[in-house]
Amino acid sequence: MVEANHYCAHLTDDVRQCILYDGPGPNARLIGIEYMITPKLYEGLDADERKLWHSHVFEVKSGMLIMPQPSPLVPQALWEKAENKEMEQTITLYGKIYHLWQVDRGDKLPVGPPQLMTSFTDWGQLDQKVIDERDKRMGSDWRRKKEIREYIEVPKIHPDADQTWKKKD
C-alpha cells in the first residue's frame, strides 16, 4: 500500500494524465503515472488491454480519494462542493497506473522495470489505520467524505476492469 498524491492534467474531456508522488511536500518522490479514461474509450480497448485498468468506484464512494483543501481560507462547504463535483466525474473513469519507484520496498532509487499497479476495490484490501493517519496529516476525514458522497451514483463497472482483485482460474 502506497500513498499516491496525484497531479493531473485534463488532456481532453475523455483523457487525463497524472503524475504521482509519494507525498504532498517539497521532498516528495515522483513514483508513477496514471492515465484515466472515460468508459467510451475504455470499451474501445481490446480485452487484454482492458484487464490492465481499474475502476475508481470504491476510492470515491469510500471517501478514500480526496482532494486536499488548498487553504483554510477556502470554506469547507465550498471546497466539498467542488471536490464532490470532481468525484462525480472520477467515479466513472478507468485508470491505468505504472509505478516507477517502489518506495514501499525501501528502494533508494527508481530501479527495475515499471510495475503495473491498481487501486483498492474493497475495505478488506487496505489498512484503515493508514487512511486515518493520512487524514490526520491532511486535515481530512474519509468517514465524512463517504457520507457526503452517498448521493453519487455508482456506474456499472465493466467486467474486464479490476483484474488484480479477481480470482484467477
Q: Which residues pair with 97 in a beta bridge?
A: 34, 117
pLDDT at 24: 87
- In terms of C-beta distances under 8 Å and separation of at least 24 residues, what long-range contacts does 129-138 make, across chains too? 130/1, 130/3, 131/64, 134/3, 135/66, 138/24, 138/66, 138/68
pLDDT tens, residue by residue, 40-56: 999 999 999 999 999 99
Q: CA angle, 38 as apex, 13 and 7 as ends, to 5°? A: 65
Which residues does 111 contact at the CB level (< 8 Å), separation at least 6? 102
pLDDT at 165: 87
Q: CA angle, 10 as apex, 5 and 15 as ends, to 5°? A: 100
pLDDT tens, residue by residue, 101-149: 999 899 999 999 999 999 999 988 888 888 999 999 988 999 999 999 9
3-state secondary structure of 159: coil
- Global pTM reads 0.92
Give the 3-state DSSP-derived string for 31-88, with helices as H, strands as E and coil as C: EEEEEEECHHHHHCCCHHHHCCCEECHHHHHHCCCCCCCCCCCCCHHHHHHHHHHHHH
Q: Please give the C-alpha separations between residue 3 and each of 29, 106, 147, in angstroms, as whole numbers.
A: 11, 14, 22
Examine the pLDDT at 57 and tell me if it is beyond 90. Answer: yes
